[in-house]
Chain A
Amino acid sequence: MRSDMQDIAKQMRIDIVEMLAAAGSGHPGGSLSATDILAVLYFDKMNIDPANPTDPDRDRLVLAKGHAAPALYAALAQKGFFPRKDLITLRKSSSYLQGHPNMQTTPGVEMSTGSLGQGLSVANGMALAGRLDNRDYYVYCIMGDGEIQEGQVWEAAMSAGHYGLDHVIAFVDHNHLQIDGNNNEVMTVNPIEDKFRAFGWNVMTIDGHDFDAISDAVDAAKASSGKPTLIVAETIKGKGVSFMENQVGWHGVAPTAEQAKEAVAELMAQ
C-alpha cells in the first residue's frame, strides 16, 4: 500500500465536504462511507490514465450508488481527470459536475448512474465486452446497501454468476443506513453474503475503511477465476466527520458553511 493513501483519502473527504457545502445540496453520508474504497481503487488498484482516458484496456468503475458522486468526483479530480478547483461547481447549472454521475459531461466517469440498481448490469455488460475482445481489464461496481433492495440487482447477480464474470469486482458499501433509517428496519438486506454466494459469487467481508483490507480483497478477487467477486465493505456512514457519523439525517443534506468549516478542521487534524 502506498504510504500517502491516508493523505489522498483525507483530501477526498475535505473536497467532498467543501463541494457539498458550496452546492447546498447532495449526499455526504454515503460519499464519506465510500471514500476509502474509491481511494484505494483509483490510487492503488485501477489501471487508468487521465492522459489516455479512452484506452480500451483501462479498468472501469461504475458508481452504481450514483448519489455518492462527490466521492467519485473527488477521486477523479485528485487523479487528474479535471481540475480540483472545479469541484465547487458541483450541481450548478453551468457545471459539468452533475448531481449524479454523467459520462457525457464528466471526464473519467465511465457510466451515467443515479437510478439505483442498474450499475451492476452495466458492469456485467462491460465485462462481457472485455471477454469478447480478449482484454484483461477489470470492472468495479460500487453499490449501496439500500440499493440492493432493487430487484434488478438480483437479476444482475444471477447473470454475473451465470456467465462466470470473474472480471467483475463489486462492492457493497455497507454503512447500514438509508434515507428512512436502518437497512433492516426499512427492508431486510441481510444476509448479503449468503445471498450473493447462492447466486454463484465469490464473497468477502472486510473493514471498508482499512486500506490494506480493501487492497487485499481486490487482489484476492483478481486471483479467483470463474466467479464474480462481491466485497461487502463494512463502513460508517459519514466516516471522518464526527457529527455526521452513523447519522441517518446526513444521507442527503449538505453541510452549511459553518458545519463544513468544522468538518474540515476535524478532517485536517486526523
Chain B
Amino acid sequence: MNSATREAFGKALAELGATNPDIVSLDADLSCTTKSATFAKAFPDRFFNMGIAEQDLMATAAGLAACDKIPFASTFSVFATCRALDQIRNSICYPHLNVKVVGTHAGPSCGEDGGSHQAIEDIAIMRSLPGMTVVVPADDVEAEKVVHAAAAYYGPMYLRFARLASPTVHDEDYEFDLFHGEVMRDGTDVAIIACGMMVPRALDAAEQLAAEGISARVVNMHTIKPIDADLVEACARECGKIVTIEEATIVGGLGSAVCEVVAERCPVPVKRIGMPDIFGKSGPGAELLDEFGLSAENIIETVKSF
C-alpha cells in the first residue's frame, strides 16, 4: 500500500511469470529501478537485458511477440516513447504485435533527474499510434491489476508507471475494468477527470470542495485510449463542466482526449490541468508536482474559475 506504481509493476510481472510461461521481460539496463528485476530474479531464463539500447529493446520484443511470447519491454517512459518511437510504431503497432511497452519514471514526479528524464509527451505520442492502448494506473493496487489485465489482452499497450510513491486509493478487492473509467466519487456540479497519481489529488480536491458546497464528481480515467467516451459524455451531460488533470503535457494527453469526446458529443466547458507546454526540471518530485500546479489546490482554484 502507498507504494510507487513501478513497484507494483515488478511484483505483478513476477506473479504473472509464475502462472504464464509465455511472459517474458526485457529491459535496457534499468531493471533495478523499473523493477523488472523482480521478474528477472525469479525467471532469469525469460529475462533479457538488452543493454542501453532502447531501439533494439522494442524491436526484439516485437520478434518475441511474433513468436507468441508476451513481452513486457520496460525502461524509463521518456526513452521508451521518444527514443524508440519508430520501433514502437513500425515494429509493434503497425503489425499489431502483442508487446507491452512499459514506461516508468513518467512525469515531473520523476524528480531530481530533471527535464531530460521526465516524460511529459508520452501519453500524447502513444495515444496517436493506431491500435495502441494507453493505461495510466492511479495507484499501486490498480497498477498490479493493470499488469494482469495487459497480459490477458492481445495487442500493443503502453503502461505508464511512476517513480514516486503515492497514496493508495483502491481496496485490494477492487475490480479493474480495462475499458471503463471508474467513478470514484459522485457529484453534480463539476467532473474532475484524472489519471495516475493525480487521482488521489482529485479526491482531496473534491473533499475540500464538498465542504464549500460544491459537488464534484471524480473519475479515474486509467485507460486514456481507447477512452471511455460514454463516461466522458455522461460527465458532460450530468455535471456541465469538466476539469482534467494529468501529470503530463496538456497537449495531446488525457485532457485532449476528453475534449475530443466532449466536442463531438456534448460540448461543455473543459479546463485542462497539466504541464503547460513546458519541460520539467530538477527537484523533489512531490515539490515539483505542486510547483507545476498538479495539486488539489490548483484543482479547487480551477473548478472555481469557471
> A-side interface residues toward B, CB under 8 Å?
56, 60, 62, 102-104, 110-115, 117-119, 121-130, 132-133, 139, 151-152, 155-156, 158-159, 162-163
Asked if B90 and A151 make an inter-chain contact with CB atoms under 8 angstroms apart, the answer reads: no
- Would you mind naming 11 contact pairs between A and B with Cβ atoms under 8 Å apart? A56-B67, A62-B63, A112-B91, A113-B90, A118-B62, A118-B90, A121-B58, A126-B67, A129-B68, A132-B45, A156-B60
B interface residues, Cβ below 8 angstroms from A: 24, 45-46, 48, 50-51, 53, 55-56, 58-69, 71, 86-87, 89-91, 94-96
A115 to B94, CA, bound (A): 11
Q: How far is the CA of A127 from the CA of B48 in the complex (A)?
A: 13
A125 touching B66, Cβ below 8 Å: yes
List the A side residues contacting B59 at CB < 8 Å.
118-119, 121-122, 125, 152, 156
Q: Kindly provide the distance from the CB of A54 to the nearest chain B CB, expressed in whole angstroms.
A: 10
Q: 11 additional contacts, CB 8 Å, given A102-B94, A119-B59, A155-B56?
A: A56-B67, A102-B95, A111-B62, A111-B63, A112-B91, A121-B59, A122-B63, A124-B56, A152-B56, A158-B56, A159-B51
Question: Which residue of A115, A123, A132 contacts B24 across the interface (Cβ within 8 Å)?
Answer: A132
Q: Is the CB of A122 within 8 A of B90?
A: no
**Cross-interface CB contact of B66 among A122, A132, A151, cutoff 8 Å:** A122
- Residues in A neighbouring B95, C-beta threshold 8 A: 102-104, 111-112
| Cβ-defined contact, B67 with A121, below 8 A | no
In the assembled complex, the CB of A69 is this many whole angstroms from the nearest CB of chain B, namely: 14
* Identity of the chain A residue whose Cβ is nearest the Cβ of B54 in the assembled complex: A155
Give the distance to chain A from B76, nearest Cβ to Cβ, in Å.
17
CA distance A114 to B69 in the complex (A): 23
Using Cβ atoms and an 8 Å threshold, which residues of chain A touch B58?
121
List chain A residues, Cβ under 8 A from B24: 128, 132
- CB-defined contacts of A125 to chain B, threshold 8 Å: 59-67, 71
C-alpha gap A106/B68 in the complex (Å): 18
B60 touches A121 (CB 8 A): yes
Q: Which B residues touch A129, using CB under 8 A? A: 63-64, 66-69
Q: Which of A115, A122, A130, A163 has the most C-beta atoms of chain B within 10 angstroms of its own C-beta?
A: A122
Known: A112-B90, A128-B48. A123 touches B53 (CB 8 A): no
Contact A132 B55 (CB under 8 A): no
Residue of B56, B65, B94 with most partner-chain A CB within 10 A: B56
Q: Are A128 and B63 neighbours in the complex by a CB distance under 8 Å?
A: yes
| A162-B68 Cα distance, complex, nearest whole Å | 23
Residues of chain B within 8 A of A103, CB atoms compared: 66, 95
Whether B87 lies near A163 (C-beta < 8 A) is no
B-chain residues with CB within 8 Å of residue A115 when the two chains form the complex: 86, 89-91
- Contact B55–A111 (Cβ < 8 Å): no
The 4 closest A-B pairs by CB, nearest first: A125-B63, A121-B59, A129-B67, A155-B56
**Of A121, A139, A151, A159, most B-chain CB atoms within 10 Å:** A121
- Is A124's CB under 8 angstroms from B60's CB? yes
Name the distance in Å between A58's Cβ and chain B's nearest Cβ: 10
CB contacts (< 8 Å) of B68 on chain A: these are: 56, 129
Contact yes or no, A124 B53, CB < 8 A: no
Residue of B nearest to A157 (CB): B56
**Closest chain A residue to B45 by CB distance?**
A132
**B-chain residues with CB within 8 Å of residue A104 when the two chains form the complex:** 94-96
Q: Which residues of A contact B90 (CB under 8 A)?
A: 112-115, 118
Q: Given A115-B86, A152-B59, A163-B48, are A128 and B91 also a contact pair (CB < 8 Å)?
A: no
Contacts of B60 in A (CB 8 A): 121-122, 124-125, 128, 156, 159
Task: State the Cβ distance, A138 to closest chain B Cβ, in Å.
Answer: 13
> What is the chain B residue whose CB lies nearest that of A162?
B51
In the bound complex, how far is the Cα of B58 from the Cα of A126, in angstroms?
13
Q: Which of B46, B56, B89 interacts with A156 by CB under 8 Å? A: B56
Task: Please pick, from A102, A123, A124, A132, the residue contacting B46 in the complex, using a CB distance under 8 A.
Answer: A132
Complex Cα distance A158/B29, Å?
14
Q: State in angstroms the CA–CA spacing of A62 and B97 once bound together.
A: 15
User: Are B51 and A158 interface neighbours, CB within 8 A?
Assistant: yes
Report the bound CA distance from A114 to B56 in whole Å. Answer: 16
Residues of B with C-beta under 8 A to A158: 51, 53, 56
In the complex, what distance in Å separates the CA atom of A114 from the CA atom of B89?
11
What is the distance, in angstroms, from B54's C-beta to the closest C-beta of chain A?
9
Closest residue of chain A to B59 (Cβ to Cβ) is A121
A130→B91 CA distance, assembly (Å): 19
Distance to closest chain A CB from B224 (angstroms): 24
Chain A residue contacts of B45, Cβ below 8 A: 132
Q: A112-B95, A152-B55, A159-B56 are in contact. Are A122 and B50 (CB under 8 A)?
A: no
Q: How far is the CA of A183 from the CA of B48 in the complex (A)?
A: 34
**Which residue of A has the minimal Cβ distance to B48?**
A128
By a CB distance below 8 angstroms, the chain A residues around B66 are 60, 103, 110-111, 122, 125-126, 129
Instruction: Give every chain B residue within 8 A of A117 (Cβ-Cβ).
Output: 55
Q: Contacts A118-B55, A118-B59; is A159 near B86 (CB within 8 Å)? A: no
Specify the chain B residue showing the minimal Cβ separation from A121: B59
Say how far B158's CB is from chain A's closest CB, in angstroms: 18
Task: Check A151–B51 contact: CB distance below 8 A.
Answer: no
A118 to chain B, nearest CB (A): 5
Docked pose: A123 CA to B64 CA in angstroms:
9
